[in-house]
Structure formats: C-alpha cells, structure tokens
Amino acid sequence: MDYTIPENLALMVETIRRFVKKDLDPISQQVEKDDRIPDGIVEAMRELGLFGLSIPEEFGGLGLGALGECLVYEELSKTNACFRTRVATNNGIGSQGIVLDGTPEQKERYLPRLASGEWTACFALTEPEAGSDAANIQTTAELVEGRWLLNGRKHFITNGSESHVATVFALTDKSKRAKGGITAFIVEKTYPGFSVGTIESKMGMRGSHTCELIFDNCEVPAENVIGGQAKVGQGFKTAMKTLDKGRLTMAASALGAAQRLLELSVDYAKQRVQFGRPIAEFQAVQFMLADMASQIYAARQMLYHAAWLRDKRGSAVIKEASMVKLFCTEMAGRVADMAVQVHGGMGYMKDYPVERFYRDLRLTRIYEGTSEIQRLVIAREMLKA
Ligand SMILES: Cc1cc2nc3c(=O)[nH]c(=O)nc-3n(C[C@H](O)[C@H](O)[C@H](O)COP(=O)(O)OP(=O)(O)OC[C@H]3O[C@@H](n4cnc5c(N)ncnc54)[C@H](O)[C@@H]3O)c2cc1C
C-alpha cells in the first residue's frame, strides 16, 4: 500500500499549517473570550478557498476528494475548533444536499456563492423531538397555491444565525415519514416567515454559534425542493447521504485536535520540572504520552484508508465511515483526558488551550450522529443479508 500524500495535497496542507500557526492560533484564546471570529479572518479563510473545499471546481470550489478534505480539516483543527466549524457547514452538511441531489439550476444559483464564502449555509434536521431519531421531525411543509408553507422549529443548528441559506427537512406526508414522507428544501433567510430563535449557550465551541430556526408559514418557492418535484418525499435519503459523507471529516477534525494535544503534552512534559526533573522523565507520564501517540497513529491509518477507499470507489463507505467517526472521536476524548492529566492543574486552567480542546472535543461524540448511533450503523451494515 502506498501512503504517500499526493504533492498538490501536501502543498495545500503546508499552506493551512502556516495559516494556523501565523494567523489563527495567536488569536485562539481571544476568539474564545469574544465568542466571535474577526471578519478579517473570515475573509482570509475565503481567500484560501476554505469555504469551497468539497464543492466541485465547475462551481468555484476546490473539488477536493475525501482524502484532501480530511487532510485540510486535520490541520485546521490543531487550533480553536470554531475556525473549522465556520467553514464546515458550507463544505459539508450545508451544501452537500445540493451537491449530491440538487437540480442544475439549484447548483448554479447556490454553489458558487457557498464555495466563495459569500454565503454561508446550514443544515436544519434536528428538532426537540427528533435528535438521534431524525425521522421523528414535526416540521411540516404544505403545497399551497404553488409554493410550500413550512411550519415548525429546528434546534441546535450550527451556523444558523450566520447563514444566508438553510437545507431544511420537513414532513410532506406524515403517514410515510422517512419512507417517502420527508422532503428537503432550500430556504433563504429572506423568505417570509423564516427567523432565527434562541442562540444556545454551550459547554464549548465558543466562536461557533448554534441556534433555533423558526418557520412560521415560511414561504418557499416550489422549485426549491432539493432535486426538484421528482424528489418530493425523498429528503430523508438526502439527509442520510449528506451525514454519511460528513463522518470522515468529523473524524479528521478530532484527529487534528488530538495530534495538537499530544504536541502540547510532549512540550509541557519536557519543560515542567518536579522533584528536580522534567516530568517527561517519569515513566507514568511517558506511558500517557506513548498511549496518546499510539492511539493517534491507529486512528490516522483508519481515517486515511477509509478516505482513500471513498475516493477510489467514488461511493459511500458507510460502515467504514461510521467506524472511523466512532474510533477517532472516542480516541480524541481519551487523548484530551490524558493531556489534561499530563498538564496537571495547568490543564484545568482557561489560560491554557488544553482546557478548551477538552471541552470542544466532547461535542464530536454527539453531533452528526452520536457514538451509539455509529455503533448501530456499523452493526446494521455488518448484519444485513
Ligand atoms: C453544538 C451542536 C451543534 C449541532 N449542529 C447541528 C446542525 O447543524 N444541524 C442539525 O440538524 N443538528 C445539529 N445538532 C444536533 C445533533 O446532531 C444531535 O444533538 C444529535 O444527533 C443527538 O441528538 P439529541 O441531542 O436529540 O440526543 P438523543 O437523540 O436524545 O440522545 C440522547 C442519548 O441517547 C442515545 N440514544 C438515542 N437513541 C438511541 C438508540 N436507538 N440506541 C442507543 N442509544 C440511543 C444517544 O446516543 C445519546 O447518548 C447539533 C448538536 C449540538 C450539541
């Protein structure tokens, strides 16, 4: 097996590495305090093409495959997670419904704006009664005089308050639900009846906002069903395909953060002196560093292999992607815990980035499918006839 990273991707990774080091990391703690990314940094991310990593080149994106996207996210996640999250919905769940199932007109209207970062997209599936059980959504859409009227409330929507456009899932046939009764709509923020509700106060991920979206007789043009009239009722499939595609990138983000935590821990262990010696000389600390490094190494092999498989097959790698998301995010949780331990009391202090990574990483085991849901997917794929 050849694990050489292609030259164009290696160059891209190097550019992101420099950007993280020079522009993002120095302001990470400030962004955490302000709960906001400065406009100049959003602009710089636009210029680097970070909003359009996965959007095809014909629509102005970089058209990276799974491996390329994972490599970029791995680098970008070595600093405050909010930077990755700011671009991630445009590349992932916010745009992929249109990339995978959109009509040519929808692609033409939305993808260039999303790829350039002029517009931000979000993905609105989750509701108070529909989290892991996503098919239990209550938001409805009814066709009245040639336009759809959406009614309901979504919650926990990443980038919802920043977005110009949302992929929204609503019930068009209550009796069919996931089997032909859920439709995906493209909803622009200017449509009458659309508003942003509460912005949540979270454990972490400061600088990235999560909110409610409210649809009150929200008027959506008939042509805004993703994929057009023929796809009415097929939205649940679009949602699942979109989430499947995102699992590898979520894993890459967890991996990048874990790698940074290892680097911080090695540096700290070498310079922190107790009992007259750097703590790196104590075997108990060495074992933690060795465990972190080994788990990261295993996770990276899994991720790159699954990404390579996806690029090679050109189709979903459902079981592998769930295994990789499960393993990488759980691994990063263990690494974060050990990193706090290596740093002792310093690891618990807000002035130090380890504390922030610890909180931010916790989310990766919950959103875009909890660890339990990944296990259900893996088992289902394994056991199906
Ligand atoms: C910060 C943040 C950002 C988010 N961004 C978005 C977004 O942009 N768009 C969007 O649509 N959603 C988003 N979500 C929602 C996220 O995807 C859900 O929170 C997640 O799917 C879990 O749903 P839930 O919170 O309702 O938990 P529940 O589904 O209520 O789960 C609670 C617990 O029960 C377990 N559980 C549930 N069902 C089963 C089962 N069948 N078998 C075993 N265990 C089970 C779960 O694994 C979990 O441990 C976001 C969430 C957060 C916290």
Distance 292 CA to ligand 1 centre (A): 27
C-alpha span between 350 and 102 (Å, rounded): 44
CA dist., res. 336 & res. 360, Å (int): 10
Q: Are 126 and 134 in contact (CB under 8 A)?
A: yes
Q: Is the pLDDT of residue 1 over 80?
A: no
Reading the block at residue 91, the tokens are 């590349």
pLDDT at 313: 84
Provide the mean pLDDT of the chain. 97
Distance, in Å, from the CA atom of 184 to the CA atom of 232, rounded to the nearest integer, reads 8
pTM of the predicted model as reported, rounded to 2 decimal places: 0.97
Cα 344 to ligand 1 centre (Å): 32
Q: Give the domains, in start order, of the chain with CATH numbers.
A: 7-116 (1.10.540.10), 121-234 (2.40.110.10), 237-383 (1.20.140.10)
Task: Tell me how far the alpha carbon of residue 128 lies from the centroid of ligand 1, in angstroms.
Answer: 10
Q: Which of 32, 127, 162, 368 is catalytic?
A: 368
pLDDT tens figures, 28-47: 999 999 999 999 999 999 99
**Residue percentage of the chain with pLDDT more than 90:** 96
* In the predicted structure, residue 385 carries a pLDDT above the cut 90: no
Q: What integer is the mean pLDDT of 169-189?
A: 97
The H or E element containing residue 100 is helix 96-101
Predicted confidence (pLDDT) per residue in 278-311, tens digit: 999 999 999 999 999 999 999 999 999 999 999 9
Mean pLDDT of 37-61: 97
- Amino acid found at 102: G
Q: What share of the chain in percent tops pLDDT 70?
A: 100
Closest CA to 75 of 16, 15, 3, 7: 16
* Res. 244: pLDDT tops 90: no
Residue 125 Cβ contacting ligand 1 at under 6 Å: yes
